[in-house]
Amino acid sequence: MQKLSIAITKVAFIALGIISVQPVQAALIDFNFSTRNGATGTFTLNTDTPPSPEPAIFRPNVTGVAYLGAVSNFSISAPYVNLSNVTTDFDVVPSVTSDLIGFPKNLGVLSGVSYPPGCITSSSLTCLFDIALFYSGNQTELPILSDNPLSYSRGVGIDFFNPTTNELLIRDNIANFKVVSKQVPESNSGLSILASAIGIVGLLIKRNLDTKRYAQ
């Protein structure tokens, strides 16, 4: 019995160890938006994405932080562009505050989604479009992004460019903007292993007791 008790303890520690090393889910945030011109879209931002060593180029001599591949499941339906479930980049431009682009003060700094992937770090400014929003997270913590949906709660608009000349073709204001933490189901594999292991050891204990009973 003592050996079996020790076995239970060992199995429990092993199973709990498996649970403890389960990978932590990234801090994902889901976005849903619509515009005054009838565009609709969704995307997911991974706030755990590390910053790129290359700066995001917002305008000549105006740079920010680029998070390459941080945006997934990006879809948009609009008169000027249609995409479905693509991956692209996110950026934050700390020097461009809300009041600099005609909005009230203290809404945050400019940030957003840029497409196609890699265009935000290109000196030739080859982005097809940007979806602008205000980032109101703690700027002293940048380049670490906030995982609080409230830090991304104000949408601005979509700028659609000529990818050859970088001429602004369309500016479409965002009318509705919703941001929520993505619900990711936690893995139950560690708990399943623990339950199975304890069940097996329990059967061994029962078998051992039955054997002793018949031997008497």
pLDDT digits (tens, 9 = 90+) for 106-151: 999 999 999 999 999 998 888 999 999 999 999 999 999 999 999 9
Q: Are 129 and 117 in contact (CB under 8 A)?
A: no
Between β-strands 62-77 and 40-46, what pairing exists: parallel, antiparallel or unpaired? antiparallel
Considering the domain architecture, whether residues 12 and 85 belong to the same structural domain is answered as no
Convert 8-19 to b/e letters by CB count within 10 Å (16 or more is b): beebeeebeebe
Q: How far apart are alpha carbons 148 and 179 in whole angstroms?
A: 10
Considering the domain architecture, whether residues 120 and 172 belong to the same structural domain is answered as yes
90-108 pLDDT, tens digit per residue, is 999 999 999 999 999 999 9
Q: How far apart are alpha carbons 22 and 16 in whole angstroms?
A: 10
Considering the domain architecture, whether residues 112 and 205 belong to the same structural domain is answered as no
Considering the domain architecture, whether residues 53 and 71 belong to the same structural domain is answered as yes
Considering the domain architecture, whether residues 193 and 174 belong to the same structural domain is answered as no
Considering the domain architecture, whether residues 34 and 73 belong to the same structural domain is answered as yes
Considering the domain architecture, whether residues 141 and 196 belong to the same structural domain is answered as no
Considering the domain architecture, whether residues 98 and 196 belong to the same structural domain is answered as no
User: According to the model, what pLDDT value does residue 34 have?
Assistant: 97
User: According to the model, what pLDDT value does residue 18 have?
Assistant: 41
Considering the domain architecture, whether residues 89 and 121 belong to the same structural domain is answered as yes
188-199 pLDDT, tens digit per residue, is 544 444 445 445
Q: pLDDT band at residue 179, thresholds of 50, 70 and 90?
A: very high
Beta carbons within 10 angstroms of residue 178's beta carbon = 13
Q: How far apart are alpha carbons 56 and 64 in whole angstroms?
A: 5
Domain extent, residue 148, equals 28-181
Mean pLDDT of the chain: 82
User: According to the model, what pLDDT value does residue 125 have?
Assistant: 84
Please, how many CA atoms are within 13 Å of residue 118, restricted to the half-sphere of its CB? 0
8-58 pLDDT, tens digit per residue, is 444 444 444 444 444 445 599 999 999 999 999 999 999 999 999 999 999
User: According to the model, what pLDDT value does residue 169 have?
Assistant: 93
Considering the domain architecture, whether residues 122 and 65 belong to the same structural domain is answered as yes
Number of domains in the chain: 2
Considering the domain architecture, whether residues 72 and 6 belong to the same structural domain is answered as no
